[in-house]
Amino acid sequence: MKTLSEVVVLIGRIDRVELHRWIELGWVAPARPAGRAEAEPAFSDFDIARVRLICDLRHDLAVEEETMPLVLSLLDQLYALRRQMKTLIGALRQQPDEVRRAIMDVLEASRRQGGALD
């Protein structure tokens, strides 16, 4: 866990004011100690990676502030789907060979028909 000041130093291309604003806008949500809303937020590696991504989007890719919620929302949906896909694949992997083969057959048939499951 890192403090806001540590994150500013670590990333090097963002200042405190801007990072505060991103928290206010809900773009990044570092944990705060329970029951203490005024407490210094604590950034996990996950949060820091997200701050980096927002830096890239905002500064390098020049995404406007008002467009950011749209971009982040789409990304969050994309990653939610990918997580679920992974969970689903994990569940399928535990099935007997026969079941997995049957699923692969359906996917293969769908691919040959140019179907959406490709």
Partner 1 sequence: MSDDLYQRLGVSRTASQDEIKKAYRKLAKELHPDLNPGKPDIEERFKGITAAYDILSDPERRGRYDRGEIDASGQERPEQRFYREYAEDPSAGRFYTQEGFADEESLHAFFSDLFGARAGREGRGGREGMRMRMRGADVSYTLPITFLEAAKGAKKRVMVGGEQSIDLTIPAGVRDRQTLRLKGQGMPGFEGGPPGDAYVEVHIQPHAFFERKDNDIHLELPVSLAEAVLGSRIQVPTIDGPVSMTVPKGSNTGATLRLRGKGIVDPGSGRRGDQYVHLKVVLPKKPDAELEKLVEQWAKTHAYDPRADMERR
What are the distances in angstroms from CA 93 to CA 22, 26, 79, 82, 116?
39, 36, 21, 16, 21
For position 86 contacting partner 1 by CB under 8 A, the verdict is yes
Query: Residue 21 Cβ, how far from partner 1 at the closest point, in Å?
Result: 17
Q: Which residues contact 116 (CB under 8 A, 6 or more apart)?
A: 110
Indicate which single residue of 1, 25, 39, 75 sits in contact with partner 1 (rule: CB under 8 A).
Answer: 75
Per CB under 8 A, which of residues 13..72 are in contact with partner 1? 29, 44-46, 49-50, 52-53, 56-57, 60-62, 72
- Name which position in 90, 97, 112, 114 contacts partner 1 (CB under 8 A): 90
Q: Which two tokens stand for residue 101?
A: 């083969």
Q: How far is the CB of 44 from partner 1 (least distance, A)?
A: 8
Q: Are 4 and 16 in contact (CB under 8 A)?
A: yes
**From CA 50, how far away is CA 46, in angstroms rounded?**
6
Q: Which residues bind partner 1 (CB under 8 A)?
A: 29, 44-46, 49-50, 52-53, 56-57, 60-62, 72-73, 75-84, 86-88, 90
